[in-house]
Amino acid sequence: MRLPTLILAAALLSTGLGHVVPATTAVAAGYELNLDQAGLAIHGYDPVAYFTDGAAIEGKADITAEHNGATYRFASAEHRSQFLADPEKYLPQYGGYCAYGTSVGKKFNGDPTAWRVVDGKLYLNLSADVQRKWLEDVSGRITEANKKWLTIMDKSPESVNGQ
């Protein structure tokens, strides 16, 4: 195991989340999406709020939109309209999987409260602890994740995580 993988494994075990994978996935646009048991992307958090409010805000069950086989919730009808006008602008990278995990070739659940917008793109991480490691080298991790994503994007979390 390489050092980054060992660090991630230690972080996951220390948080008790070593085998966290999404409850459901949907293949869209050639890659799997991280969805919760209800088929919600970003665990029901509003994807637009990260950009407009700079905050992780839970969406409302009665304000939704479907995109690529996933359901997105929004805090307001205005946010839903913004999303529908340009969904790709607001989608989390790597199908909503953990950006750090993706950088080491794994697919771990993305926590909607462990997030960052970098260069106009939304990135989620497994937890605040994992995010701290990701923040040590954001550009390097994004570069690695972009490369690794091409090889794992259409694979199930179980197949790339060795479960």
* Each residue's pLDDT tens digit, 9-58: 444 444 444 434 444 555 555 688 999 888 899 999 999 999 999 999 99
Determine the residue type at 44. Answer: G
| Phi and psi, residue 48, nearest 5° | -75, -35
Sign of CA dihedral 29, 32, 33, 36: positive
What's the token pair of residue 115? 């997030």
Query: Tens digits of per-residue pLDDT, 63-96?
Result: 999 999 899 999 999 999 999 999 999 999 999 9
Global pTM reads 0.84
Determine the residue type at 14. Answer: S
Yes or no: say if 126 and 107 are a contact pair by the CB < 8 Å rule.
no
DSSP 56: -
